[in-house]
């Protein structure tokens, strides 16, 4: 009996060692790509429940700004949805001038955004005035 | 008897007043109200914001010589079941184009034209007005670019109890001289809700 257990554990370790990693630029979702030792029909419910328990959600990794050819500030917010479920939220970007004063614009409204589970996302925004040098961004739940 | 009736009427009035739906102001900055099947101000805000950002990012309004384009607003077709004043969308876009500093809008021609511009020109021959204060001939500036577009909807039966309504906002920016299209974009706003909700008003 003990022999069988050793064989089973050995097979799992061997199988996970043989797992060929996909091209990192291509994201194969669960139930699209092949099952792995860490993600299969047995482990999936546990990992999903654990993710929900620890409250995984949206993480923002980077906010990059650059001035485009037309002279307007462009903002790219790169993030990742760490939860297993699609997260929907709203965001609003306010643009600031050189004195740190908010620029009044009709483009600063709450806009919807959606990020699929365990996936990266990018929010792009363009300042509507050349005077914009900085920004601030707020988020809220999609009701 | 009379006192009793009066008392009853008073009580009914008080109760009825208590049941009336209270009128509240909408917090348009952070409105957390539910979505509605018809287009509301939030949809126009969103569509205008996306369109303006797309137009400015494209660089279509940047003039090679550093000057400002003269832009006229053309026809915005409302092909929805709602009575929409298309200015609800266009005024926001025109305001942002003006404030961007890259273009000026003209009131001389197009859907945003001001009748008084033409009426005041008829005063040249009036004996009541000083002709030197009237606008001279050939002083209006012709537009170089025009914006036109369309708002239309598609209503789809999603299932027995649910309908899906898709609203499409389409805008295009064209060069008057060459007829070439410098920019165009589309924003889709989709809504799903009860079959009993109406999207026409």
A16 lies in a domain? yes
Mean pLDDT of B95-112: 93
A50 lies in a domain? no
Q: How many domains does chain A have?
A: 2
B186 touches chain A (CB under 8 A): no
Output phi, psi for A131, to 5 deg: -70, -15
Give chain A's contact residues with B (Cβ, < 8 Å).
68-72, 74, 105-112, 125-126, 128-130, 140, 143
A115 lies in a domain? yes
* Contact list, A126 vs chain B (CB under 8 Å): 53-54, 56-57
- What whole-number distance in Å separates Cα of residue A63 and Cα of residue A93? 12
A118-A121-A125 Cα angle (round to 5): 160
Among candidate residues A138, A45, A139, the one with its CA nearest the CA of residue A88: A139
pLDDT of the residue at B97: 95
- What whole-number distance in Å separates Cα of residue B66 and Cα of residue B194? 52
Say which CATH topology domain B40-106+141-194 has: Rossmann fold (3.40.50)
Query: Would the pTM count as exceeding 0.95?
Result: no
State the complex-level ipTM: 0.81
Among candidate residues B113, B53, B91, the one with its CA nearest the CA of residue A75: B53
B19 or A69, greater pLDDT: A69
Domain containing residue A62: 58-141
Judge contact between A123 and A87, C-beta under 8 A.
Answer: no
Among candidate residues B3, B118, B59, B14, the one with its CA nearest the CA of residue A69: B59
pLDDT of the residue at B125: 86
- What whole-number distance in Å separates Cα of residue B170 and Cα of residue B54? 12
Of B50, B56, B99, the CB nearest to A70: B56
Of B52, B59, B99, the CB nearest to A69: B59
Q: What is the CATH number of the domain that holds A132?
A: 2.60.40.3230
Weakest mean pLDDT among A13-17, A34-38, A71-75: A13-17
Mapping DSSP to helix (H, G, I), strand (E, B) and coil, where does residue B92 land? helix
Cβ separation A130–B59 shorter than 8 A: no
B116 or B3, greater pLDDT: B116
Residue A31 confidence (pLDDT) above 90: no
Cβ separation A109–B46 shorter than 8 A: yes
- What whole-number distance in Å separates Cα of residue A28 and Cα of residue B38? 38
Answer yes or no: do A62 and A92 share one domain. yes
The tally of CA atoms less than 13 A away on the side-chain side of residue A68 is: 23
Answer yes or no: do A36 and A63 share one domain. no
- DSSP for A29-64, written as a single string: PTTTS---SSSSTTHHHHHHHHHHHTT--EEEEEEE
């Amino acid at each position: 009996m003990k022999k069988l257990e050793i064989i089973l554990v050995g097979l799992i370790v061997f199988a996970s060692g043989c797992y060929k990693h996909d091209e990192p630029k291509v994201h194969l979702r669960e139930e699209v790509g092949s099952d792995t030792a860490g993600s299969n029909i047995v482990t999936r419910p546990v990992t999903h429940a654990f993710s929900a328990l620890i409250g995984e959600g949206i993480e923002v990794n980077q906010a990059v700004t650059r001035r485009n050819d037309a002279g307007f500030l462009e903002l790219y917010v790169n993030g990742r949805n760490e939860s297993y479920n699609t997260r929907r939220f709203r965001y609003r970007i306010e643009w600031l001038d050189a004195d740190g004063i908010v620029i009044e614009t009709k483009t600063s409204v709450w806009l919807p955004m959606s990020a699929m589970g365990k996936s990266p996302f990018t929010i792009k925004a363009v300042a509507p005035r050349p005077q914009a040098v900085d920004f601030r961004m707020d988020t809220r739940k999609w009701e | 008897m009379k006192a009793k009736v009066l008392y009853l009427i008073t009580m009914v009035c008080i109760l009825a007043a208590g049941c009336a739906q209270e009128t509240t102001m909408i917090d348009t900055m952070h409105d957390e109200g539910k979505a509605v099947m018809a287009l509301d101000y939030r949809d126009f805000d969103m569509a205008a914001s996306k369109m303006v950002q797309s137009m400015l990012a494209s660089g279509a309004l940047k003039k090679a010589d550093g000057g400002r384009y003269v832009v006229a607003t053309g026809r915005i077709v409302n092909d929805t079941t709602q009575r929409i004043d298309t200015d609800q969308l266009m005024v926001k876009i025109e305001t942002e184009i003006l404030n961007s500093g890259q273009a000026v809008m003209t009131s001389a021609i197009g859907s945003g034209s001001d009748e008084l511009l033409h009426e005041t020109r008829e005063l040249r021959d009036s004996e009541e007005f000083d002709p030197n204060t009237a606008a001279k001939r050939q002083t209006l500036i012709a537009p170089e670019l025009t914006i036109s577009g369309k708002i239309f909807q598609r209503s789809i039966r999603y299932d027995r109890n649910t309908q899906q309504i898709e609203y499409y906002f389409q805008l295009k920016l064209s060069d008057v001289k060459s007829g070439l299209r410098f920019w165009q974009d589309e924003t889709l706003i989709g809504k799903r809700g009860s079959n009993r909700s109406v999207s026409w008003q």
